[in-house]
Amino acid sequence: MTDITAAGTYALGERSVNRMGYGAMQLAGRGAFGPPKDRAEAIAVLREAVAAGVNHIDTSDYYGPYVVNQIIREALHPYPRDLTIVTKVGARRGDDASWLPAQSRADLTAAVHDNLRNLGLDVLDIVNFRVMGGGMGRAEGSITEQFSTLAKLREQGLIRHLGVSNATSAQIAEARAIADVVCVQNFYNLAHREDDAMIGELAAQGIAYVPFFPLGGFSPLQSDTLSAEANKLAATPMQVALAWLLKRAPNILLIPGTSSRAHLRENLAAAELQLSDEVVARLNTIGG
């Protein structure tokens, strides 16, 4: 069995979590909407992930919606004491599977209570406020009202820690002026590296950086260079892409997602893959 502790740990709130985690979005149906094709397999994936040492799971009640959190509860409740479940609020799903903003005080409060109910928790470990932009783009503008709403819910004891997702540097600073931020979850991978400077700044502040779509998302990473390096290492391109992220900075926490146990094992194996500085230099030519 893969030893995912080979990738190290990092502080997430008051806990130390393994840097190789798991993202639950793909446990819903296509496009993170509706029920999974195989609910039993979804449950098996979660249980195997935790058995393998995963103690950081990323989710949201708008995956499904509600479906993924209900599957997590069925598979893992009562939860292991060292398991950190991170969720997101700030969006909702339309009947056509569209992603819509849900960022009023009432929306955010309802979303927190929905997450609590569907996960079967009295308090949420970490809640990220998801800033809604177009596609993978980021929207400028103040998040003071939204983050202040979540900070008040934290003061009420419903949330332990807060983070932000899809946020600019200015929005992160704005959030930190309101309450502690323990993690930032943004779009980042080997080919999309807009946040290169931000990652270092967050590391200096002891804040975890959690890249979503670490393997490209709905359009998987494709690169001749990546494939060539993977062949030399007797690994898959996606394993190399994950190993590159682990090498990139110590505050990067990974949450690759899958609905397959076989794919889960492949992802977790990247925790043991060592990349030389020469390999990293060649991979660095892919993105920018």
Return the active site residues: 63
The residue type of 50 is V
Query: With contact defined as beta carbons under 8 Å apart, do 83 and 55 qualify?
Result: yes
Residue 67 identity: V
User: Would you say 246 and 270 are in contact if contact means Cβ atoms under 8 Å apart?
Assistant: yes
- Terminal Cα-to-Cα distance of the chain (whole angstroms): 35
Sign of CA dihedral 78, 83, 84, 85: negative
Where do the DSSP E strands lie in 102-207? 124-130, 159-165, 181-185
How many helices and strands in the chain, by DSSP H and E? Answer: 10, 11
Separation CA 125–CA 138 (nearest Å): 25
Cite the beta strand spans of the chain per DSSP E: 9-12, 15-18, 22-23, 56-58, 84-89, 91-93, 99-101, 124-130, 159-165, 181-185, 208-209
Instruction: Give the whole-angstrom CA distance, residue 180 versus residue 159.
Output: 12
Structure tokens at 277: 């500085």
Grouping H, G, I as helix, E, B as strand and the rest as coil, residue 91 is strand
Q: 């929005």: which residue's tokens?
A: 171
